[in-house]
Structure 1
Amino acid sequence: MKLTEQKSYLLIFTMLIAVILLSACDGSSDVTNDSSSVTINVAGVKGGAVYIDSVTPKVTLSGNVDNNYLIQITLDGVAYEQSTEISSIGEHTLVIKVKDSDGIVVETKSITFEISDSLDSISALAFPTAEGAGANTIGGRGGDVYVVTNLNDSGEGSLRYGIEQSDDPRTIVFAVSGTIHLKSQLNIKNGDLTIAGQTAPGDGICVANYGTVINANNVIIRFMRFRLGDATNSKPEVDSLWVNQSENVILDHVSASWSIDETLSVSESDNVTIQYSIISQSLNNSYHHKGEHGYGSLVRGEQGAEYTFHHNLWAHHNNRTPRPGNYLSYQEDSVGLYADFENNVIYNWGGSHGAYNADKDSVSHYNFINNYFKSGPDSSSKSYIFYEQAAKAEGYFAGNSLDEDEPSDPYSLVKYSFKNLFGQSESAIISEYKQTSKFIIGNVAVTLERADEAYDNVLASAGAFPRDDVDIRIINDVKDGTGNIIDSQEEVGGWPELESTTAPTDTDQDGMPDSWESNHGLNFNDSSDASTDQNQDGYTNLEEYLNYRADKLLNS
């Protein structure tokens, strides 16, 4: 069984030797030297990661490079020929040295990694249905448990207190349902965190009034709603939910809406998955200083960052559904973003298109595979699915449907407009842009469906459950071809009331109800059993309960 595949994208540099650049960085810092200004970039190997079968490291140099430099690579102390697969089981050390014309070593980089023939040595996924670049996130696994007991903005028992009061691994569960009306932005700065919205008794949790920003590593959020709105009149030009400068994040069955900037965005991060979420109805003409700014998702990354968006619904946005790109120019970043958009549903964008890249001189790579685009009342009758303005970008488009039509030429759904051709003809740039094979992004592949199958699946399963009136209305809009882009949440009734029921008894406050513990041979007077793994499957006993709760919500 293979856990990861090598990137298919190859870029040949004219140097003394041919070096090959693949899409993923190794996750460790580049080693640089002021005198040589050379940086060693490695792809195909992630330091410390566990792989199945084999890995093939690829090396390139950037910076002040001339033809007098030589690269010397050793594997476990023995000379290694680049592009040779490494398949022997165990730990390996790869050392890359750059020598100048006098044979003096000016740069060195060392990476230690492991190859395993068994999944036993691999941590369990974030949860069994986790896929894509963020699937290996473990959140608060094995750590403390914090119980949210009220809907206050702050103070003991509040969601904010649970997020901010510790930087130890922790899982946040809920003994209450309802809407949390924030009094200021909710900042997640302490990682190793799981927020388990599926545990809320009743209708679930909504975070309102101010945005939520994830600026931390190793975060899992499931079954939560983030609905910003304009009620504070404080002109907070923020997303409802923003993943910024974070690594290893997965958002699953999240509902986000009513933003005054983008609704759910990811930027300057790595190893992120957004799956089975509803990203809907940004506020178009609200308090943003630029005027109309009702956008879906800004998806920017650099230096080999990997993001996966699959089985999500974007609905009723003026634009950016989604908008991938890269903040850095191609001179600053020759590796770029790797973003995967598979099996999403996109409905009622404003004008002729919703998805585009306008970072004209940056490097980005993306898959758009088997997505279902459906124009709506605010969409132009002459629509296309993507507007490409970045001459340094590359795209793989396949199986996408626009208004129930899947053309034989998948790139006929893409429009191009390049202001800077970088000395090439437009036809040459377009030819290089059109990729013949997908970029392999993330260690866990998305379970791919046809676009029409994904449409049914997303409408049945995306978003926070149990669904509130907002998501029910959005789903019906997509089905019926109705609804529109809005300027205020008041146009559609505002925040619905989320009722809470009595939380099940949890004597030891370990996140698992007494009844669950009794039925599974655990001790409801001993909180320590939450962090143990009774059946040795990689998930703690608490995670087994959280996964059960998620399945129950989706199947009820």
Structure 2
Amino acid sequence: MRSFRLLMMAALLAVGPVQATGIAYKGWTATEGGRGGRILKVTTLAASGPGSLKEAIEATGPRIVVFEVGGVIDMGGQPLKIKEPFLTLAGQTAPDPGVSVIKAETTIATHDVVIQHLSFRPGEFGRPKKGGGDQDGISTLGGAHDVIVDHCSFSWATDENLSASGPRFEGKTPEDWRKGTSHRITYAHNLIYEGLGNSVHEKGEHSKGSLIHDNTSGVLIYANVYASNRQRNALFKGGAQGAMVNNYIFNPGDRGVHYNLLANEWTGQPWQVGRLTLVGNAMRHGPSTVAGTAFFTMLGQGDLELHMNDNLAHDAQGRPVPLLGNNAQTTGKLIVMAKPELPAGLAIRSAADLARDLPALVGARPWARDPLDAKLLADMANGKGRLIDSEVENALGYPRHAPTQRAFKPEDWNLDDMSPKAGWPVAAKP
């Protein structure tokens, strides 16, 4: 592990300090989260009650949630539901080893939310296979909008690890539909891995990265690492509008990125044309990847406007694999967009640099990795990884950090963006 930390430190020093506030790359969102609101302190790792994360989430009004405790919040299967707007969850304020939320789905059914530097690990926790009760890591619901999830870690979801969802046909017109479901969502610099396959989902195999649901719009998936998810790295469904920029996909099962409008889910509704920009992404096959798996595949029905530029795809030996996959049952038309549809001013790296640069930058608290993230990244650097059906198949299992405490000192933080006044750490201690 020492050699891996030295490698991480070298990579961080090569690319500069950790960019840990979502504001600089907020995509199409227009939010400051809870900026200017009251400070709420999480002082316990209990699942509920005074000083808990649940209590802070359920409070009303603009609020910045800071952490005076580090460790594991075990929700025991109970969800965390964010329904009140103007919220910032600042996981960067926690003492090492940071905060991991386990055995829970977190949903966002509101607007103006920023979540940073937290880990979300639902897992199956002994529940019966195909027994139902599947859980995302985080999913936006309803008409959620102006949401940023930045520098977080996700693993062991039994549905998707990180998704944007909601009702697809709310209202009378396609314009109404887009307002009624998730829109202006940014997922940036996250580590998204090991979605559980044959676990509690009633459909059976369900190892998935991200689902971007029908008619969502303004969704930016930027500079994330997807590792060892069988499919949906990511999936954009019918009529969705968004972009994937500078993401690194490692060891997918049999699909990288794909688009799919399912006709049976659109009965009685006019099919909408999807719009997707894929720029500067890279995919590398791993031990679990089906030979020939392409970077992007169009499935189902309905047309898609697509712009692709500077994307790379290689097998485990470094040989090129197709960027575009074929599917004989697809009836939709692929329409080439000459120009990308991207947020103004978005910084874009070369796809060739992602394998070197991104691992050191993504996930919760890159300056103080928890053992699960460190193991995943070390394995990825060595070309190792596999699809799993339960968290117990990961040698480390659920995090077991001893609780830590540290008083929050507002004078140490820039409260406008929750960056430390001393500057972001650039590396974990070797």
Matched, 1:152 2:46: yes
Partner of 1:67: none
Matched, 1:200 2:110: no
Of residues 237, 248, 255 in structure 2, which corresponds to 1:325?
A: 237
Q: TM-score, normalised by structure 2?
A: 0.82
Of residues 437, 451, 455 in structure 1, which corresponds to 2:339?
A: 437
Q: CA deviation at 1:434?
A: 1.9
SS state at 2:356 partner = helix
Q: Does structure 1 retain, via aligned residues, the 8 Å contact 2:72–2:403?
A: no
Q: CA deviation at 1:220?
A: 0.2
Partner of 1:348: 251
Partner of 1:395: 306
Amino acid aligned to 2:71: G
Q: CA deviation at 1:126?
A: 7.0
Kindly report which structure 2 residues correspond to 1:397-436, keeping only aligned pairs within 5 A, or say none: 397-403=308-314, 413-417=323-327, 419=329, 421=331, 429-430=333-334, 433-436=335-338
Q: Does structure 2 retain, via aligned residues, the 8 Å contact 1:342–1:446?
A: no
Partner of 2:357: 457
Q: CA deviation at 1:454?
A: 2.4
Matched, 1:312 2:224: yes
Matched, 1:170 2:170: no
Q: CA deviation at 1:500?
A: 4.4
Partner of 2:160: 262
Q: CA deviation at 1:364?
A: 1.1
Q: 1:549 to 1:355 in 2, by over 3 A?
A: farther
Q: Does structure 1 retain, via aligned residues, the 8 Å contact 2:298–2:330?
A: no
Q: 1:406 to 1:262 in 2, by over 3 A?
A: same
Q: Does structure 2 retain, via aligned residues, the 8 Å contact 1:269–1:301?
A: no
Partner of 1:253: 151
Q: Does structure 2 retain, via aligned residues, the 8 Å contact 1:126–1:139?
A: no
Matched, 1:383 2:283: no
Q: 1:551 to 1:211 in 2, by over 3 A?
A: farther
Q: Does structure 2 retain, via aligned residues, the 8 Å contact 1:310–1:342?
A: yes
Aligned pairs, number: 375
Matched, 1:129 2:24: yes
Q: Does structure 1 retain, via aligned residues, the 8 Å contact 2:256–2:283?
A: no
- Per-residue CA shift, 1:175-209, capped at 9, x if unaligned? 00011000311100111000000000111001111
SS state at 1:413 partner = coil
In structure 2, C-alpha distance between the alignment counterparts of 1:286 and 1:383, rounded to whole Å: 24
Of residues 268, 271, 284 in structure 2, which corresponds to 1:374?
A: 284
Q: 1:235 to 1:210 in 2, by over 3 A?
A: farther
User: RCO higher in 1 or 2 (8 Å CA, sep ≥ 6)?
Assistant: 2
Amino acid aligned to 1:172: V
Q: Does structure 2 retain, via aligned residues, the 8 Å contact 1:197–1:223?
A: yes
Amino acid aligned to 1:169: P
- Per-residue CA shift, 1:69-93, capped at 9, x if unaligned? xxxxxxxxxxxxxxxxxxxxxxxxx
SS state at 2:25 partner = coil
Matched, 1:236 2:133: yes
Matched, 1:487 2:369: no
Q: 1:280 to 1:190 in 2, by over 3 A?
A: same
Between structure 1 and structure 2, the one with the greater Rg is 1
Q: CA deviation at 1:167?
A: 1.9
In structure 1, C-alpha distance between the alignment counterparts of 2:422 and 2:293, rounded to whole Å: 37
- Per-residue CA shift, 1:321-360, capped at 9, x if unaligned? 110113xxxxxxxxx4321101000011113x22212214
Q: CA deviation at 1:548?
A: 1.8
Q: 1:137 to 1:388 in 2, by over 3 A?
A: same
Partner of 1:543: 416
* Runs (5+) with no aligned partner, structure 1: 1-124, 327-335, 423-428, 507-511, 518-540
* Runs (5+) with no aligned partner, structure 2: 1-19, 166-180, 263-270
Partner of 2:206: 293
Q: TM-score, normalised by structure 1?
A: 0.64
Q: 1:218 to 1:383 in 2, by over 3 A?
A: same
- Per-residue CA shift, 1:257-313, capped at 9, x if unaligned? 10111111112311111000001001101111111111111012427x201011101
Superposition RMSD in Å: 2.4
- Per-residue CA shift, 1:394-433, capped at 9, x if unaligned? 11111111128797xx9x51124365747xxxxxx34xx2
Q: Does structure 2 retain, via aligned residues, the 8 Å contact 1:271–1:307?
A: yes
Amino acid aligned to 1:250: I
In structure 2, C-alpha distance between the alignment counterparts of 1:505 and 1:261, rounded to whole Å: 35
Q: Does structure 2 retain, via aligned residues, the 8 Å contact 1:209–1:232?
A: no
Partner of 1:358: 260
Partner of 1:498: 401
- Per-residue CA shift, 1:412-470, capped at 9, x if unaligned? 51124365747xxxxxx34xx22221113x3x432101112122221110000121111
